[in-house]
Amino acid sequence: MEKVNEENYKLHGTLTMRGVSKKVVLDAELGGIVKDPRGNIKAGFTITGKINRKDFGVSFGMLTETGGMALGEEVKLNISAQFTKEVAVVV
């Protein structure tokens, strides 16, 4: 994750679909950080972005009754994610 400012980040990674892997960069917005009743520190993010399905080999499509595409090439990603901070155990 790359910090843009206090609430916004860029999430860099590799997305794999149908055996095709591509590097992607998604926008991540920090929703908040809390400590749960068990003492775990958790951070919530809303992650958004767009990919082209054909870049991943998803090329099938269906036509509507009027001849339009029922499935567009651009796919919008909307992800809600929660991460828990891992505590290092020293032995």
Q: Place 80 in a pLDDT band, splitting at 50, 70 and 90.
A: very high
Give the integer Cα–Cα distance in Å for 23 and 26: 10
Given the candidates 3.40.630.30, 2.40.128.110, 3.20.20.80, 3.40.1180.10, the CATH classification of the domain at 2-84 is 2.40.128.110
Task: Note the pLDDT tens digit of each residue in 12-60.
Answer: 999 998 899 999 999 999 999 999 999 999 999 999 999 998 898 887 7
The widest CA-to-CA distance across the chain, in whole angstroms, is 67
Two tokens, residue 8: 């916004």
52 three-class SS: strand
Query: Exposed, middle or buried by CB within 10 Å (0-12, 13-18, 19+), for 18?
Result: exposed
pLDDT for 74 beyond 80: yes
Among the listed residues 51, 68, 70, 50, the one whose alpha carbon sits nearest the alpha carbon of residue 60: 70
Query: Exposed, middle or buried by CB within 10 Å (0-12, 13-18, 19+), for 36?
Result: exposed
